[in-house]
């Protein structure tokens, strides 16, 4: 038999280069462990830390009410909605669309509520390096202040089925 249990005391403490590399790996693990909570408070692009449990269909009702009361136009059958500066804005991820199109004002702050109606989606705001995991049943509240005007394309970067590649949306900043 080629495999047998080693006899006697088989364990040897690492020495030389092995000791150096194990030490470096351990030190890096400790640095990363401290960095993760530190970045949560000091980082510029953080995941929202204000989250509420919500029934997906109740969230959809709130989105519909938001669209009804703040609608200013339409693009490709999707309503364009302009929330009041300083107020609440809603964005719903569903197979396979980000709904509605948001029209925001530069340098105004909004409370953006994001959730999913069906399954896991990934909200990515292009061309910025922004990426949020969106699950049904949770209302993620992001406090956002657009600093650049223009049109920002939203895509989904969590695979969510056959239409995933065409799941897009838009935020217009004026």
In the complex, the residues that contact Cu ion under the rule CB under 5 A are: 121, 156, 160, 167
Q: Comparing C-alpha atoms, which of 42, 78, 45, 51 is closest to residue 145?
A: 45
CB nearer Cu ion, residue 108 or residue 125:
125
The nearest distance, CB 99 to Cu ion, in angstroms, is 12
Q: What is the C-alpha to C-alpha distance for residues 82 and 84, in angstroms, rounded to an integer?
A: 7
The nearest distance, CB 11 to Cu ion, in angstroms, is 49
**Strand spans (E) along the chain:** 50-53, 71-75, 78-81, 88-94, 97-99, 101-104, 110-116, 121-126, 130-134, 138-144, 150-156, 168-173
In sequence order, the β-bridge partners of residue 125 are: 130, 154
CB nearer Cu ion, residue 105 or residue 164:
164
CB nearer Cu ion, residue 70 or residue 115:
115
The nearest distance, CB 108 to Cu ion, in angstroms, is 28
CB nearer Cu ion, residue 63 or residue 160:
160
The nearest distance, CB 130 to Cu ion, in angstroms, is 16
């Amino acid at each position: 038999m080629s495999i047998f249990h080693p006899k006697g005391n088989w364990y040897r403490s690492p020495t030389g280069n092995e000791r150096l590399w194990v030490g470096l790996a351990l030190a890096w693990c400790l640095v990363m462990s401290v960095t993760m909570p530190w970045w949560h408070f000091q980082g510029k692009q953080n995941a929202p830390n204000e989250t509420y449990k919500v029934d997906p269909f109740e969230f959809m009702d709130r989105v519909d009410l938001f669209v009804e009361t703040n609608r200013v136009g339409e693009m490709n059958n999707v309503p364009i909605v302009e929330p009041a500066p300083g107020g609440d804005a809603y964005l719903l991820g569903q197979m396979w669309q980000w709904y509605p199109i948001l029209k925001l004002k530069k340098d105004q702050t909004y409370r953006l509520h994001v959730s999913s109606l069906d399954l896991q989606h990934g909200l990515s705001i292009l061309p910025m390096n922004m990426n949020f995991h969106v699950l049904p049943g949770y209302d993620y509240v992001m406090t956002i202040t657009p600093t650049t005007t223009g049109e920002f394309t939203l895509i989904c970067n969590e695979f969510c089925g056959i239409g995933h590649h065409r799941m897009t949306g838009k935020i217009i900043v004026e």
